Amino acid sequence: MKYKRILLKLSGEALMGDQHYGIDINRVTQYANDIKEIHSKGMEVAIVIGGGNIYRGLSAEKAGMDRVQADYMGMLATVINSMALQDALEKLSIKTRLLTAIKMEQICEPFIRRRAVRHLEKGRVVIFGAGTGNPYFTTDTAASLRAIEINADVVLKGTRVDGIYTADPLKDPTATRFDEITFQDVYNRGLSVMDMTAFTLCQENKLPIIVFDMNKPGNLSRLADGEPIGTLVRE
Q: Mean pLDDT throughout 148-174?
A: 92
**Closest by Cα among 57, 221, 17, 220 to 139:** 57
pLDDT band at 58; cut points 50, 70, 90: low
- At 59 the pLDDT is 76
31 is in an annotated binding site: no
Domain segments of the chain: what residues? 5-234
234 is in an annotated binding site: no
12 is in an annotated binding site: yes
- At 190 the pLDDT is 92
- At 20 the pLDDT is 83
Task: Label residue 17 left, alpha or beta by phi (over 0 means left) and psi (-120 to 50 means alpha).
Answer: left
Percentage of residues in the chain having pLDDT higher than 90: 85
- At 90 the pLDDT is 98
Residue-wise pLDDT for 9-20, tens only, equals: 999 988 998 888
pLDDT band at 82; cut points 50, 70, 90: very high
> What does each C-alpha distance from 88 to 50, 125, 177 come to in angstroms?
17, 12, 32
DSSP character at residue 165: B
- Return d(Cα 181, Cα 14) in angstroms, integer: 24
192 is in an annotated binding site: no
The SS3 of residue 86 is: helix
156 is in an annotated binding site: no
DSSP-assigned letters across all residues of 218-232 = THHHHHHTT---SEE
CATH code of the domain made up of 5-234 = 3.40.1160.10
Residue-wise pLDDT for 207-231, tens only, equals: 999 999 999 999 999 998 889 999 9
166 is in an annotated binding site: no
64 is in an annotated binding site: no
- Return d(Cα 92, Cα 106) in angstroms, integer: 23
134 is in an annotated binding site: yes
138 is in an annotated binding site: yes
136 is in an annotated binding site: yes
- At 152 the pLDDT is 98
